[in-house]
Chain A
Amino acid sequence: MAQLTMREALNQALKEEMTRDPNVFILGEEVGAYQGAYKITQGLLAQFGEWRVRDTPIAEEAMMMTFNFSLLALDMIVNHAAKYRYMSGGQIRCPMVMRGPSGAATQVAAQHSQGFESWYAHIPGLVVVMPSTPKDAKGLLKSAIRDDNPVIFMENEILYNLKGEVPEEEFHIPLGLGDIKRAGKDVTLVAWSRSVITSLAAAKTLADEGVEAEVVDPRTLRPLDEDIIFESVRKTGRCVVVEEGWRYAGFGSEIADRVQRECFDSLDAPVLRVTAADVPMPYAKTLEKAYLPQPERIVEAAHQVLYRS
């Protein structure tokens, strides 16, 4: 196993898949000569040439840099990529990956810090992936590139420098397969992307109190590995969903809905959600901290479902 940052892991995945399949190419802002706005595409232009690593103008009706700017391309993603197969009665397939950072960064305020996974997970025809570790990022990106469906691949800018073990041999992780990031028997914390890291921190605090939290990372929001969540909840009887998106109509409510329906007899408490505040992201550090799910809020929610004060 090699220790890699998520940035390096993503770069490896792109390089390997582009080497494997000459039909794979990259279009995007600053992906070539600039080596990627976040250096994910470092070195690819030199290796694969400009037709396969194409710097685009800021023409965001069709291309983008981060998911904050993907709203201009929503028509292309929602009305075109996700629907062409259906509208054509199965004649067309749309093998593309839209990848880039999503979610909160640090002090970049409302237009550059927002989680849109709930929007994209809402759309039939799309696959939505949100990795939380370097290994997952690499394995899932390789699957996303090979898959022939349009995939929304949301990374988190804060996690780009996160280090983790990544297998040195060829591997991939299937889309739609969840993972237990920490085993436990007392309470289930469901989280994806950066919320996994926040939840693991909360689990550590809980462990000091003698509460063993299980952190379940679905990794893919659509299709959703609901079984891994149900199995955990049936064991613990308690469930907290953590997300960096807004509370109102957020993806966590989809999970809460499924859990209450499928695990009703196992639940010892209502399913709780820890989410971002229902306001645009503020700039000031204190407000930013109050906006995002923090380990303390997760611990508090765990206490609530465990009826501990």
Chain B
Amino acid sequence: MREPAPHNHPHGNALTLPQAKRYKPLSDTRTESGTMDRNQALALYRQMLLIRRFEERCAQLYVEGKIGGFLHLYIGQEAVGVGAISQTRADDYLIAYYRDHGYALARGADPRLLLAELCGKFTGISRGKGGSMHFYDIPAGNFGGDGIVGGHLPLAAGIGYGIRMRGTDQVCLCFFGDGAVNEGAFHETLNVSALWDLPVVYIIENNRYGMGTSIDRASSVKDLYQRASAYGVPRREVNGMDIVAVRSALGEAIDRARKEKRPTLIEAETYRYRGHSMSDPGKYRTKEEVESMMKSDPILLFGRRLMEQERFTQADLDAIDKDVLAQMEDAVTFTEQSPDPPVESLYEDVYVRSPYIHMKAAEKDPAWRAAIREDRVPASLPPWKPAAPPPAAPAAQPAEATASAGKAK
């Protein structure tokens, strides 16, 4: 029998990915000493604000009926994702749950691709197949949002195992909510992570409610980070509304993972201002509770700190906001001008073309027929330029994407 051609795939193994090069992640501005310089402070503030404005715009678009399905907003929790990811290296990995917009943005994904995904466009980062809960950005090491509570925790351990097998000093961050700690997968994952010394940092974003059930009614132990003690995993809690505190906790945990190959469990206490998803009126908590939590808003706190230290003026911060809002409008324009996925793409992305599948059988199946084309990672876009005039360029992008899609078939 004839021997098939050897593997020659651009991403032969999902874990041996090329390093992210499309976007410049925040961590590029980190100084050697680990202290923030002026540029980095600005970048962190901008990143949190971008997520806030992105989510607010999503809520509007959802009400307008342009975004469908479930929409879980990250508003109120921005300091956790931005703070944690700002401590990672460009070749590190992350994997998260379904409230996943913030991580993709913090890891440098283009908001245009994300908004297009939310609106089910072909230009979306997952080609309109994932939606809000599935923002994968593999070139940036982002293994996306998982729709199953706790379902991605074993995958994080798998990524950690891959890192150990290859012997690199990469690290994987794994974000999940307080609801996930009651799942069996959480316990199995922490056990093997400690047992095999996996370089994974597990971050509980404790926003106090698993959907509508408060942790008081769901967890026998209220200090969720203490659950790691059962597995001998280093653990700590941190104020998730304070980005500086988050950065400090993550700096330590990432360092441990990178150098000692040991996991850490971090509990970041935070709060979501909006409902679990857009369909949640939030009747399980009081208006007063929400309002009191909003007083310690992570963006407000960090902005005030920046001004108190006289490093920035209100005008500086307002200028960032203006720029971020303009970037959002640009994303909306891009999305509106993007095409819907062609019906032919329905069967694409189910299987990988393979010389080990007999094509006679495969050709009978539309999903296998569609697998004959190469992988299509979303095309890179020109980076956002703050001072750019109302862009005409992005309008050409959807057409290009469609053209190349047509060619591939």
Contact = CB atoms under 8 A, between A and B. Distances in A.
User: A and B, one complex?
Assistant: yes
Contact of A124 (B13, B129, B165, B367): B367
A75 B152 CA distance: 10
Contacts of B378: 89
A51 B165 contact: yes
Given A85-B349, A89-B128, A148 B358 contact: no
B185 A61 contact: yes
B126 A87 contact: yes
Residue of A54, A76, A176 contacting most chain B CB atoms (<10 Å): A176
Interface in B1-35: 1, 3-4, 7, 9, 11-14, 16
Interface in A182-228: 220, 223-227
Contact of A57 (B4, B7, B125, B191): B191
A89 B354 contact: no
A172 B356 contact: yes
Given A175-B358, A177-B361, A146 B7 contact: yes
B150 to A, nearest CB: 9
A93 B151 contact: no
A176 B361 CA distance: 6
A246 B362 CA distance: 26
Nearest to A142: B356
A177 B2 CA distance: 14
Contact of A174 (B14, B134, B137, B358): B358
Interface residues of B, number: 63
Nearest to B148: A79
A146 B362 CA distance: 17
Contact of A88 (B138, B148, B192): B138
Given A89-B130, A223-B368, A177 B352 contact: no
Contact of A94 (B14, B134, B164, B376): B14
Contact of B357 (A62, A125, A176, A178): A176
Interface in B261-311: none
B251 interface: no
Contact of B127 (A25, A89, A95, A171): A89
A223 B354 contact: no
B63 interface: no
30 contacts: A57-B192, A57-B195, A59-B192, A60-B188, A61-B154, A62-B189, A75-B148, A75-B151, A76-B154, A80-B148, A80-B155, A84-B136, A86-B349, A86-B350, A87-B130, A89-B349, A90-B349, A90-B376, A93-B352, A124-B350, A147-B357, A148-B352, A149-B351, A172-B356, A173-B1, A175-B357, A225-B358, A225-B360, A225-B361, A227-B361
Interface of A: 23, 25, 27, 51-52, 54, 56-57, 59-62, 75-76, 79-80, 84-95, 124-125, 127, 143-144, 146-149, 170-178, 220, 223-227
